[in-house]
């Protein structure tokens, strides 16, 4: 039974106040730890340890408060004090001030953690986090071509891809994307390294020998972690039976790894894309050429791929996969090379719909239609629905998940986008382009260190990767304004590598190209012009080269030297814009040509039209580029207040690709308004409310 005076004694000995003070201070310590750990990349175990120690310390603090007291003569045991002796008490005012101040600090830290994001998890390192390797995981490595005809490599690639595609439909397996497996030899020497880099327990190796209408296929399954052989099998079949081989291999792998298959998945494994072996052979040639096109972005490769697809479709009009891949290839050419006309887009839509009618539950048909909505018309909700359905049909389809990440990024859903790209990187860890795009998200969010680290990871996979190199350059320039370092990095990139994808447009840097614009920022305008001294292979190249050279001369304030080029470009671009009135890239180029011709009103009019067509609310990427482009034109036409207002807006939202305080300080495009008080105030960052550094 508790004595009557027990609670009074607790009060006399300050135990109550110690309990309250400990709870508040303990909460503060936990909040400080939770804030510091992610900021300084410390282990999450530190937070857990602090929480445990804080909890353990609570009863200890109460025991000490009961047993000891602080007196004017120092610390004394309470038992040594007379019961009538007064124990020094904390004044109510001081105690309330202490508790209130500590609580305010705790609340501020808590508010910071909630306000931080939306982007909170983005503070994780940009590289792929290390993950445990699941037992039911596999990478299908490149199949070796043993045919006498070395040109039959496309066929070996096709067999590999057919097996991989079937395995990717099994939800119970982790299957690595072809993009990552393409980085390895058919029979790598260090399987344990492959296992660690790809995050898989097993690899499938294979070899294909094709002769006339016969095919010989060898496959072997290996435990990559132990570098040990599990099983092997050979198949001697006629070409027309190659689909059965792909199905058998996929089924045996699933059985060996004890993967559970739904009835739908089992049906997918057994289904052949066509019954026409010749059509399939033509299709595989198209696939081989399409892979070359996707890596080189050369128009002739896209055209050869679509020609092979068309031949395959001509032999088998019901070949849904070939029809879908034809539509996808056309949309990629539209996005990365040159926009299709309205009538051409109608033809692509007709092909995509045809594939969907033939095979509504085929992943490739959903991806093709998603590409049409996304790349053709920026209709993101419709595209999201198609890519979501594609993942439902084929859970391991890295391409569909990748595009979901890109779509959510364009919708300004940065948290969702980054998590999706992080997830797809687990399935496609050696995809340099994907790694570069992942780093690009950090660039837009002005998380410069993360962007630079992710970009270096991308270029370590592939030094020729343009997205990774571009992000690296912009992280250096926009993050810390280091022009010399940017030039050193640029020197490591092959001079014939184009750094600005044609899918990026709206700002003058996108028009000129990031390779040339590094020289522009360094004010080496002659070197920037030399970047565009290259052979023209098409009318597209001619328009881009002339307009880029005009813009560089405007930035160099040598408008007199640009008159002939500007007049030539004006005619080409105005003709183009009459045929394609909503083509933003042409509008951007024409606005700078108008500047060179001193047609300032027309320059602003065209640039504003582009900015109104696609706003940041409609597209968080293109809208930002367009808005940046409008501010640039206004800075050169005397609309200073409006240019500064746009820059203030851009500094408050994720727009680190084009605008940052460090970039504003060094970019010649802002020279006409550099001495404006409003512009100078932006450089202090004093009135910014967003991620503006």
Relative to beta strand 68-71, strand 74-77 is: antiparallel
pLDDT at 86: 53
Q: In percent, how much of the chain has pLDDT > 70? A: 79
Q: At residue 361, does pLDDT exceed 90? A: yes
**Residue 523 main-chain phi, psi, to 5 deg:** 60, 35
Provide DSSP, 506-563.
Answer: SSHHHHH-HHHHHHHHTT-HHHHHHHT-S---SHHHHHHHHHHHHHHHHHTT-GGGGH
Provide DSSP, 570-585.
Answer: HHHHHHHHHHSTT-HH
Distance CA 241, CA 233 (A): 16
Relative to beta strand 174-175, strand 228-238 is: unpaired
Q: How confident is residue 32, by pLDDT bands cut at 50, 70 and 90?
A: low
pLDDT at 150: 82
CATH match of 500-684 with 1.25.40: yes
Highest mean pLDDT (candidates 97-106, 111-120, 220-229, 402-411) = 402-411
Distance CA 175, CA 193 (A): 17
Inter-residue contact 610 to 628 (CB < 8 Å): no
Which residues, including other chains, have CB under 8 Å from residue 681's CB and lie 6 or more apart? Answer: 687
Q: At residue 46, does pLDDT exceed 80? A: no
Torsion of CA 374, 183, 338, 521, to 10 degrees: 100
Q: At residue 519, does pLDDT exceed 90? A: yes
Q: How confident is residue 102, by pLDDT bands cut at 50, 70 and 90?
A: low
65-69, 358-362, 572-576: which has the minimum mean pLDDT?
A: 65-69
pLDDT at 68: 62
Give the mean model confidence (pLDDT) for residues 95-119.
Answer: 52
pLDDT at 663: 97
Q: At residue 116, does pLDDT exceed 50? A: no
Give the mean model confidence (pLDDT) for residues 278-299.
Answer: 92
pLDDT at 114: 47
Q: At residue 294, does pLDDT exceed 70? A: yes
Q: At residue 691, does pLDDT exceed 60? A: no
209 half-sphere exposure, CB direction, 13 A CA radius: 7
Q: How confident is residue 310, by pLDDT bands cut at 50, 70 and 90?
A: very high
Give the mean model confidence (pLDDT) for residues 221-240.
Answer: 92
Task: Check for a shared fold between 137-270 and 500-684.
Answer: no
99-103, 298-302, 431-435: which has the minimum mean pLDDT?
A: 99-103
Fold of 137-270: Rossmann fold (3.40.50)
Q: How confident is residue 498, by pLDDT bands cut at 50, 70 and 90?
A: low
Q: At residue 541, does pLDDT exceed 80? A: no
Q: At residue 535, does pLDDT exceed 90? A: no
Give the mean model confidence (pLDDT) for residues 393-414.
Answer: 95
Distance CA 329, CA 348 (A): 10
Mapping DSSP to helix (H, G, I), strand (E, B) and coil, where does residue 372 land?
A: helix
pLDDT at 258: 94
Q: Tens digit of pLDDT for each residue in 50-91?
A: 666 777 777 776 666 656 665 555 555 666 555 555 555 555
pLDDT at 338: 86
Q: At residue 151, does pLDDT exceed 80? A: yes
- Other beta carbons within 10 angstroms of residue 231's beta carbon come to 11
Annotated domain spans of the chain: 6-116, 137-270, 277-472, 500-684
- How many angstroms from the chain centroid is the CA of residue 206? 32
Give the mean model confidence (pLDDT) for residues 495-518.
Answer: 83
pLDDT at 134: 92
Give the mean model confidence (pLDDT) for residues 35-44.
Answer: 48
Provide DSSP, 157-186.
Answer: HHHHHHHHHHHHT-TTSEE--HHHHTTS-S
pLDDT at 70: 58
Identify the CATH class of 277-472.
Answer: mainly alpha
pLDDT at 184: 85
101-105, 522-526, 642-646, 658-662: which has the minimum mean pLDDT?
A: 101-105
9-23, 28-42, 298-312, 516-530: which has the minimum mean pLDDT?
A: 28-42
Burial class of 88 by CB neighbour count within 10 A (0 to 12, 13 to 18, 19+): exposed
Give the chain's mean pLDDT: 86
pLDDT at 652: 95
Q: Tens digit of pLDDT for each residue in 160-219?
A: 999 999 999 999 999 999 989 988 877 887 889 999 999 999 999 999 999 888 999 999
Give the mean model confidence (pLDDT) for residues 445-470.
Answer: 93
Q: At residue 398, does pLDDT exceed 90? A: yes
Q: At residue 274, does pLDDT exceed 80? A: yes
pLDDT at 494: 79
Query: Which has more confidence, 691 or 322?
Result: 322
Q: How confident is residue 466, by pLDDT bands cut at 50, 70 and 90?
A: confident
Query: Which has more confidence, 460 or 14?
Result: 460
**Residue 49 main-chain phi, psi, to 5 deg:** -65, -40
């Amino acid at each position: 039974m508790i004595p009557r005076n027990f609670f009074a004694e607790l009060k006399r000995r300050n135990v109550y106040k110690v309990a309250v003070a400990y709870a508040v201070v303990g909460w503060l310590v936990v909040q400080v730890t939770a804030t510091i750990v992610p900021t300084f990349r410390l282990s999450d175990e530190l937070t857990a340890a602090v929480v445990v120690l804080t909890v353990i310390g609570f009863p200890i603090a109460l025991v000490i408060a009961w047993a000891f007291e602080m007196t004017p003569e120092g610390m004394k045991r309470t038992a040594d004090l007379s019961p009538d002796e007064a124990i020094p008490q904390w004044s109510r005012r001081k105690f309330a001030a202490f508790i209130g101040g500590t609580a305010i600090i705790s609340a501020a830290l808590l508010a910071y953690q909630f306000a931080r994001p939306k982007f909170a998890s983005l503070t994780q390192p940009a590289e792929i986090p290390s993950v445990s390797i699941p037992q039911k995981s596999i990478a299908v490595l490149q199949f070796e071509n043993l045919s006498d005809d070395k040109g039959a490599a496309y066929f070996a690639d096709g067999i590999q891809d057919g097996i991989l595609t079937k395995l990717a439909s099994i939800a119970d397996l982790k299957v690595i994307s072809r993009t990552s497996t393409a980085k390895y030899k058919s029979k790598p020497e260090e399987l344990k390294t492959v296992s660690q880099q790809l995050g898989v327990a097993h690899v499938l190796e294979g070899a294909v020998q094709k002769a006339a209408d016969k095919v010989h296929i060898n496959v072997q399954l290996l435990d990559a972690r132990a570098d040990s052989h599990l099983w092997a099998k050979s198949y001697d079949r006629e070409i027309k039976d190659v689909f059965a081989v792909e199905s058998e291999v996929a089924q045996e792998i699933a059985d060996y790894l004890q993967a559970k298959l739904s009835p739908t998945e089992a049906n997918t494994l057994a289904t052949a894309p066509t019954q026409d072996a010749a059509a399939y052979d033509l299709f595989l040639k198209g696939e081989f050429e399409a892979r070359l096109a996707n890596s080189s972005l050369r128009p002739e490769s896209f055209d050869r791929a679509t020609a092979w697809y068309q031949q395959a479709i001509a032999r088998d009009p019901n070949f849904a996969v070939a029809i879908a891949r034809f539509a996808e290839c056309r949309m990629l050419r539209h996005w990365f090379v040159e926009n299709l006309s309205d009538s051409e887009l109608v033809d692509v839509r007709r092909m995509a719909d045809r594939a969907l009618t033939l095979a509504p539950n085929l992943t490739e048909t959903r991806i093709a239609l998603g590409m049409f909505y996304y790349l053709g018309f920026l209709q993101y909700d419709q595209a999201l629905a198609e890519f979501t359905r594609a993942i439902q049909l084929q859970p391991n389809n890295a391409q569909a998940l990748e595009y979901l990440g890109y779509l959510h990024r364009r919708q300004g859903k940065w948290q969702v986008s980054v998590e999706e790209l992080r997830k797809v990187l687990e399935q496609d860890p050696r995809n340099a382009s994907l790694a570069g795009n992942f780093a690009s998200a950090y660039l837009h969010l002005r998380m410069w260190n993360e962007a630079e680290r992710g970009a270096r990871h991308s270029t370590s996979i592939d030094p020729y990767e343009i997205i990774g190199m571009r992000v690296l350059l912009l992280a250096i320039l926009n993050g810390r304004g280091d022009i010399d370092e940017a030039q050193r990095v640029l020197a490591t990139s092959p001079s014939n590598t184009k750094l600005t994808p044609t899918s990026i447009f709206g700002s003058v840097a996108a028009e000129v190209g990031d390779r040339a614009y590094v020289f522009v920022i360094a004010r080496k305008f002659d070197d920037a012009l030399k970047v565009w001294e290259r052979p023209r292979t098409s009318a597209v190249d001619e328009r881009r080269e002339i307009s880029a050279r005009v813009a560089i001369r405007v930035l160099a304030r040598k408008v007199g030297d640009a008159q002939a080029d500007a007049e030539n470009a004006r005619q080409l671009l105005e003709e183009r814009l009459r045929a394609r009135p909503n083509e933003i890239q042409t509008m951007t180029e024409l606005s700078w040509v108008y500047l060179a011709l001193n047609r300032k009103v027309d320059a602003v009019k065209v640039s504003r039209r582009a900015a109104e067509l696609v706003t940041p609310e409609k597209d968080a990427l293109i809208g930002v580029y367009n808005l940046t482009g409008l501010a640039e034109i206004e800075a050169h036409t005397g609309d200073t207040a409006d240019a500064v207002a746009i820059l203030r807006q851009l500094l408050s939202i994720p727009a680190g690709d084009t605008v940052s305080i460090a970039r504003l300080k060094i970019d010649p495009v802002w020279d006409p308004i550099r001495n404006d008080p409003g512009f100078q105030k932006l450089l202090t960052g004093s009135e910014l409310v967003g991620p503006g550094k």
